[in-house]
Amino acid sequence: MKVLGIIPARYASTRFPGKPLVDIGGKSMIQRVYEQAKKCTALSDVFVATDDERIFNHVQQFGGKAVITSDTHQSGTDRCAEVAQKHPEYNIIINIQGDEPFIDPEQIAKVISCFDETGTQLATLIKKINTTEELYNLSSPKVIVNKLSEAIYFSRSAIPHVRGEEPQRWLYHNTYYKHIGIYGYRADILQQVTQLPVSSLEKAESLEQLRWIENGYRIKVAETDLETSAIDTPEDLEKLIKSL
């Protein structure tokens, strides 16, 4: 099994332009993500996929591997698909978020381990929710999982609803999981899902993985107890730097 890690990175973020190149303790965000990914021995190689020459040149300067991709892609999945198509020697592709500078290599390895089962099409990570604040955070998607450790729905809302109980007490009556945004794809499945039209559920929740479920694809999940720190805004970066 040859596994390629791809870190999609674009400069023109709406909420945080130039995010991949911001400094975090003397290193750029994209360099930190790349170096963490390289620590995962289950990955055969790691590429940064970007449509921006500044990011491409920067990755090469610190000794990383980068590829230029189209500037018309709507998602990181689309960017991964373009790179994977040019590298058919890899049969598993891992989409590593470019805004999680301290992602743990163990989390990447957990997603890869989902493909030890030959029937796995797609894979991702989940983490148990422990606080009410986390449960009702609309920026953090929640996941319902079946008995086969497959995701059957993602939502920004707290799901499932616990009938007859106050929302503040739902955590006492059900186990809730949040989604950790790292994806694994079997190479042939990756090409298939990027050809699917945007679905109604995807539009409603603004979550691309719902397109896959709505079209009958299965998403295997692995559970982690490790937290991640995604940087979506300058305020998120300030909080992270203060915590170092």
In a domain, 155, yes or no: yes
The per-residue DSSP string of 9-55 comes to E-S--SSSTTGGG-EETTEEHHHHHHHHHHT-TT-SEEEEEES-HHH
Question: What is the number of other CB atoms lying within 10 angstroms of the CB of residue 73?
Answer: 18
Residue 122's nearest CA partner among 188, 76, 176, 73 is 188
In a domain, 244, yes or no: no
Angle value at C-alpha 82, between 223 and 67, nearest 5 degrees: 95
Predicted model pTM = 0.95
Angle value at C-alpha 158, between 232 and 236, nearest 5 degrees: 15
In a domain, 234, yes or no: no
Domain coverage including residue 135: 3-227
In a domain, 242, yes or no: no
Per-residue pLDDT of the chain (244 residues; tens, 9 = 90+): 999 999 999 998 777 889 999 999 899 999 999 999 999 999 999 999 999 999 999 999 999 999 999 999 989 999 999 999 999 999 999 999 999 999 999 999 999 999 999 999 999 999 999 999 999 999 899 999 999 999 999 999 999 999 999 999 999 999 999 999 999 999 999 999 999 999 999 999 999 999 999 999 999 999 999 988 788 888 888 887 777 7
* Total domains in the fold of the chain: 1
Q: CATH no. for residue 179? A: 3.90.550.10
